[in-house]
Amino acid sequence: MLSSFNSILLLATTCYGAIACLMDNRQPPPGKLIDVGGYSLHLYTAGESGPTVIVEHSLGGLEGYLLLPEIAKHTRVCIYDRAGYGWSDHSPYPRTSAQMVAELDYLLTQADIQPPYILVGNSFGSYNVRLYAQYFPEKVMGMVLTDGLHETAMLKMPIHLQILKLFFLSGFVMSFIGSILGIVRLLKDLGVFELIKRELIKFPKLILKPVKRSFCRPKHWITMSREILNLDISSRQVELANYFDALPIVSIKAKTFFHPSFWVMFLPIKAANKLREQMHSEILNLSTKCVQIQADKSGHFVWIDQPEIIVGAILEILNTGDRN
């Protein structure tokens, strides 16, 4: 009896998720789909003039949608869904930083988004913007690294943090299954995302919609898994992008990796924070004009906890450019 009930329940959630995705697909994306060589990436642009801010998301993140309205008040801003996320297609190529940088530059070229760029890299996105600035220094006027990673510490990660990485990967796999069965969609509609991360409540539903939409789709979790499986390769690729002379860089440092809560009580937070300390020390050596800003009320997700600090860092680089 119980087995039959569970089967009916899973069938119902699967149908619910499939129908909801079909209805979503009838709505046009907010930006443009641009072909980058046999597959398309979604690019969304706002703001009228000035240097263009390019937001490179965290692993699995689409936080640029949360930041875009405020950044657009000051200058032009572009966010894009990396291949496999949001409205973008899967990429047939490995999910490494070098490949993502190649896709990003081709996307900006095809869309005729002219430099100079201010690159904003959140968490894993910090790898990609550093590598972009290494490959195309003439296009970049500054970078903002939000609780960024550094490859030296990442490649020497202790075994218990390596296990934590595998724990996250297993969560992505379970979420992939949950998205196929419509469970992630149901949890989203019940407001569980906001229950887990209460700070999401402060954002308008219209801004949150594209972010939450992506998490309901199996391709999102497949891409997260591909990115984390290639994380060491990306770390080795970015080793060459370790010094940028006098390029203005603002490094934003969160207070802790995770705020203490029921959801993270069994995670090695102290070890994660020790690793972060090492990474932030290394990041400060990237440039003679690298400065650090403390996000004292933030966990790792500064773009949710204190997005105004990221906007302020962008303005600092804009003002530096004006002074020069």
Q: Tens place of pLDDT for every residue, the chain, 324 residues?
A: 556 666 777 677 778 677 778 777 788 899 999 999 999 999 999 998 889 999 999 998 899 999 999 999 999 999 999 999 999 999 999 999 999 999 999 999 999 999 999 999 999 999 999 999 999 999 999 999 999 999 999 999 888 888 888 888 999 999 999 999 888 998 888 888 888 888 899 999 889 998 999 999 999 999 999 999 999 999 999 999 999 999 999 999 998 877 666 555 666 777 788 888 999 999 999 999 999 999 999 988 999 999 999 999 999 999 876 555
Angle at 98 between CA 51 and CA 103, to 5 degrees: 60
Sheet with 32-35: strands ordered across: 32-35, 40-46, 77-81, 52-56, 117-122, 140-146, 249-254, 290-295
Structural domain including 242 reads 2-323
The enclosing H or E element of 266 equals none
What pLDDT score was predicted for residue 87?
95
Q: What is the CATH number of the domain that holds 248?
A: 3.40.50.1820
What pLDDT score was predicted for residue 266?
66
DSSP state of 49: S
**Which residues touch 111 (CB under 8 Å, ≥6 apart)?**
32, 34, 43, 45, 78
Looking at the structure of the chain, the number of domains it has is 1
